[in-house]
Amino acid sequence: MKIGLLACDFVNPEFLDISGNLQEMFAQLFEQIKIKADWRFYQLWNKDLPLSTSECDAWLISGSRTSVYEDKEWIKHLIEFVATLHEEKRKTLGICFGHQIIAQALGGEVRRSDRGWGIGIKEIDIIKKEPWMNPPLKKIRMLFTHQDQVDKLPPHARLLGSADHCPHAIFAVGSHMLALQSHPEYSRAYLRALIQSREAIIDQPTFKAGLESLEIEPHRTEPAAWLRNFLTS
């Protein structure tokens, strides 16, 4: 399977020795679920954009330190590209910023959350089970770091998972688009480094709680299996 990684950000150099770059993080995740992926890497912020939706069999949109509503040319191009992926019903996964850009491109709304930062390991209630959610779980613990979130789902989207701090944590559109606000590709060590680097811009109670939550074991093989099942269904 040829997977196009639409990279909307990069790993800071001082963190590369923790889990590698974005491509390596996702490659490790997919190796864990035994998907033999032929990766095509696009640096969107660097004007490295795909020319056609047919260049890859499936597409994965990464997280970003940028907001989907910022006035940037590459974001405008990505919104148009996602709309085309939807029209053509091509398999697409959106992670964090990717989750938000799918909502934005298809008629939903994204804004800075009045709940503040969502960081650390948080529990998502599964409110609608899909056939590819195997093994089945009623709740799933995943890694988060974000300020923006989807405030309104796009038309025809199905809400699959909800968290206290993020009501629209997982949603799907048709059988071809899946969006997660969480980061299945992150390790706890990498998220810890990210949180610690942002201490100056996170309120202390949230900062402390976020770090403490990393002592909890998150689900990793289960969401990875879900992604595999979704892509191959």
Task: Tell me the catalytic residues.
Answer: 96, 183, 185
Per-position DSSP letters for the chain, written without gaps between them:
-EEEEEE-----GGGHHHH--HHHHHHHHHHHTT---EEEEEEGGGT---S-GGGSSEEEE---SS-TTS--HHHHHHHHHHHHHHHTT--EEEETHHHHHHHHHTT-EEEE-TT--EEEEEEEEE-S--TT--S--SEEEEEEEESEEEEEPPTTEEEEEE-SS-TTSEEEETTTEEEESS-TT--HHHHHHHHHHTGGGS-HHHHHHHHHHTTSPPP-HHHHHHHHHHHH-
